[in-house]
């Protein structure tokens, strides 16, 4: 081991001698009290201090870079947490509204969440995450805190399809809450119309429209919408009435399915009577 050390030292003897001389020179300068040497030491110390101050930004730069990276991560985490809290608050408000609706209507409900929407067609639908396993059946009404949503038209074990108001096949018996005038709500692909209202009937813009007692599918007094326009046509015996629905289907996320199916006896009787009325 020593022999190897000697060999390396011999091979680099010039560098070793130079290093030794430099160290010796520094020691002599440090221990020398000569005024000139002292002045050189002072100048060297000042120069070293200035250089250190000028170059101090280098470690500071890397430290700030790491600190900024950490702050960015913290900012992202805080923003994500704030978003979750806002979402939880909005969901809490929606659920409170649904619970308030549930307490107002004397029916049995099954809560459901909207898992898919078709809102760009003529026959628009919703998909709910409740089905036969939850007691859902076809022709059960669906409501939200805003009012009437639609009716269940198809059911599997865990999911159900709902035909909603904005569906050209959807019809519902309705009435004006204030004047008790009744008609039929239908959507033509662009606007909602309250049909079959004679000109002499009392209808005003802003009137509340609810489900009527004459429908067999939907319970009465469920909010549908507000009258937005009333017009009379010279060539018609009926008023042209348009409506704005109470439910915002774009924002709709939670609903209640009313566990109520049409009265089979009534349905059978009314269907039997249709041929005799000429309809």
Q: Report DSSP letters for the chain, one per residue.
A: -HHHHHHHHHHTHHHHHHHHHHHHHHHHHHH---HHHHHHHHHHHHHHHHHHHHTTHHHHHHHHHHHHHHHHHHHHHHHHHHHHHHHHHHHHHHHHHHHHHHHHS-S-EEEEEEEEEE-SSSEEEEEES--GGGT--TT-EEE-SSSEEEEEEEE-SS-EEEEEEEETT-EEEEEETTT--EEEEEE-SS-EEEES-BTTS---TT-EEEE-TT-SSS-TT-EEEEEEEEEE-TT-SBEEEEEEESS-TTT--EEEEE-----HHHHHHHHHHHHHHT-
Over the stretch 64-100, which tens digit does the pLDDT of each residue have? 667 777 777 777 777 667 767 676 666 666 666 556 6
In this structure, the answer to whether residues 33 and 118 fall within a common structural domain is no
In this structure, the answer to whether residues 117 and 230 fall within a common structural domain is yes
Mean of pLDDT over the chain: 79
For residue 247, give the CATH number of its domain: 2.40.10.340
Domain count, the chain: 2
Q: Which uninterrupted H or E stretch holds 155? A: strand 148-155
pTM summary value:
0.60
Whether residue 93 is contained in a domain is answered as no
Whether residue 77 is contained in a domain is answered as no
Over the stretch 96-154, which tens digit does the pLDDT of each residue have? 655 665 555 667 788 899 999 999 889 999 999 999 999 999 999 999 888 899 999 99
In the listed set 34, 54, 74, which residue is the last one of a domain according to the structure?
A: 54
Residue 277 has pLDDT above 60, yes or no: no
In this structure, the answer to whether residues 41 and 151 fall within a common structural domain is no
pLDDT, residue 28, reads: 61
Whether residue 85 is contained in a domain is answered as no
In the listed set 28, 54, 80, which residue is the last one of a domain according to the structure?
A: 54
Range of the domain at 251: 109-261
The Cα 126–Cα 120 span in angstroms is 12
């Amino acid at each position: 081991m020593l022999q190897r050390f000697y060999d390396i030292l011999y091979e680099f003897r010039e560098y070793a001698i130079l290093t030794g001389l430099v160290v010796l020179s520094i020691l002599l300068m440090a221990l020398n009290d000569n005024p000139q040497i002292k002045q050189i030491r002072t100048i060297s110390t000042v120069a070293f201090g200035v250089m250190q101050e000028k170059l101090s930004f280098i470690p500071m730069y890397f430290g700030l870079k790491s600190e900024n990276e950490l702050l960015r991560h913290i900012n992202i985490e805080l923003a994500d947490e704030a978003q979750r809290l806002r979402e939880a608050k909005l969901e809490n408000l929606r659920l409170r509204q649904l619970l308030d609706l549930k307490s107002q209507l004397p029916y049995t409900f099954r809560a459901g969440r909207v898992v898919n929407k078709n809102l760009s067609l003529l026959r628009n639908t919703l998909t709910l995450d409740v089905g036969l396993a939850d007691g859902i059946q076809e022709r059960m009404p669906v409501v939200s805190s805003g009012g009437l949503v639609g009716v269940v038209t198809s059911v599997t074990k865990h999911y159900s399809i709902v035909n909603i108001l904005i569906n050209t096949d959807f019809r519902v018996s309705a009435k004006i809450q204030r004047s008790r005038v009744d008609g039929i709500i239908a959507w033509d692909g662009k606007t909602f119309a309250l049909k079959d209202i004679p000109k002499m009937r009392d209808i005003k813009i802003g009137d509340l429209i609810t489900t009527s007692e004459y429908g067999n599918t939907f319970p009465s007094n469920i909010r549908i919408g507000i009258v937005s326009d009333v017009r009379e046509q010279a060539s018609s015996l009926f008023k042209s009435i348009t409506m704005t629905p109470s439910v915002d289907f774009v924002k709709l996320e939670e609903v209640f399915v009313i566990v109520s199916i049409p009265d089979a006896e009534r349905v059978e009787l009314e269907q039997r009577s249709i041929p005799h009325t000429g309809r």
